[in-house]
């Protein structure tokens, strides 16, 4: 595999992870004047993440693309959870005024749960696939 192809695949994984983060972050927004933009962010982020992770998978077809896509999804969900928890901690202390209300759990909860499940399944499949390849080479 050429170096350019590998770099492009990793760049697409980065775009996929960031798009997933934007999708999750947008799903938790709850300001009424941002509702149309919220659904646009969620749909656009999900579509861009799906396209970029799929293209990265095609470029990494000989490598373990399931594992790398799962790691990208889990990293995006972890960063989003970190920001959500820190935002909730600041809102409880009322030290900082909230710039964006991140408390729409009816949309955000299922979205982040779906991303965590999908990322975990991809990572698990990638690990199993890697173990199967190692067992095949050792025989």
Per residue of the chain (139 residues), give pLDDT as tens. Answer: 588 888 999 999 999 999 999 999 889 888 777 778 788 889 999 999 999 999 998 988 777 888 999 999 999 999 999 988 887 777 655 555 555 677 788 889 999 999 999 999 999 998 988 777 666 565 5
Residue 2 region by backbone torsions, left for phi larger than 0, else alpha for psi between -120 and 50, else beta: beta
Give me the pLDDT at residue 134, please: 61
Q: What pTM does this model have?
A: 0.84
Instruction: Determine the structural domain holding residue 120 and report its residue range.
Output: 3-94+101-138
Give me the pLDDT at residue 91, please: 61
DSSP string, 83-127: HHHHHHHHHHHT-S--SS----HHHHHHHHHHHHHHHHHHHHHHH
CA-CA distance, 24 to 30, in Å (whole number)?
13
Our count of domains for the chain comes to 1
């Amino acid at each position: 595999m050429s170096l350019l192809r590998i770099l492009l695949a990793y760049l697409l994984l980065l775009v996929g992870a960031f798009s997933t983060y934007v999708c999750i972050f947008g799903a938790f927004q709850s300001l009424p004047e941002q509702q149309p933009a919220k659904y646009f962010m969620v749909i656009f982020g999900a579509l861009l993440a799906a396209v970029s992770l799929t293209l990265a998978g095609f470029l990494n077809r000989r490598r373990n693309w399931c594992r790398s896509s799962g790691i990208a999804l889990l990293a995006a969900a972890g960063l989003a959870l970190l920001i959500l928890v820190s935002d909730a901690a600041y809102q409880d202390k009322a030290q900082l005024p909230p710039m964006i209300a991140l408390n729409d759990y009816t949309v955000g909860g299922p979205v982040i749960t779906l991303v965590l499940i999908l990322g975990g399944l991809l990572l698990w499949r990638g690990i199993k696939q890697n173990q199967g390849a190692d067992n095949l080479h050792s025989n």
